Amino acid sequence: MTVNFEFRKQIMDYHVHDVLKYCFQCSRCTDNCPISAVTIDFYTTTGYNPRANILNALLGYKDAIFSADPLTIWGCTVCDTCDEVCPQHIELTEIFTFLKNESVKAGNAPDFIYGQAQAIFDSAKAIPSQPAIERRREQLGIPAVDAPDVNEVQTLLKNIGSDKKLK
């Protein structure tokens, strides 16, 4: 495996903050990760593994992360459990957010991520409302949800260049 020094520096910039925290590779993050619990194959150890991601990230093994199955990066649901249980107080999700952003920049994120982003751009909602939902709310006496200002949201997204990342 090749060390990508620029990538390693970027990771360290995210990771260090005020003090360098070493990863023990104790695997407490993986042992408590709900995604690892349902994806890791005990015999082959394939599946979503935050411990392995942290190891490859801190060592600068960019290819090991980005050439692999998209699940390697995008399996994380940002539940923050790993951040809470890490004995070294490593903010794993900070590093995983950086990896996800790099994946989007490279145009390699899974299709469902672009689909979700497109939905937000088009409707200013992560989950656009459906007539059936609106009818159900009315039947239950729940007030209608005000429509978001789509133009305003699109302007904000364009200002940060999100529209150029959509497929």
- What is the DSSP track for 49-76? -HHHHHHHHHHT-HHHHHSS-THHHHT-
- CA distances (Å), 114 to each of 87, 98, 131, 148, in order? 35, 17, 24, 21
x/- map, 136-165, ligand SF4, by CB under 6 A: ------------------------------
Q: Are 73 and 96 in contact (CB under 8 A)?
A: yes
27 binds ligand SF4 (CB under 6 A): yes
Site for ligand SF4 in 90-119 (CB under 6 A): 90, 92-93
| Nearer to ligand SF4 (CB atom), residue 56 or residue 124 | 56
Pick the stretch among 78-86, 110-118, 131-139, 157-165 that binds ligand SF4 (CB under 6 A): 78-86
- Interface residue with ligand SF4 among 79, 127, 142, 145 (CB under 6 A) is 79
Number of Cβ within a 10 Å radius of residue 88: 12
Relative orientation angle of helices 92-105 and 50-59, to the nearest 10 degrees: 70
Name the site residues for ligand SF4 (rule: CB under 6 A): 23-29, 33-35, 50-51, 54, 76-82, 86-88, 90, 92-93
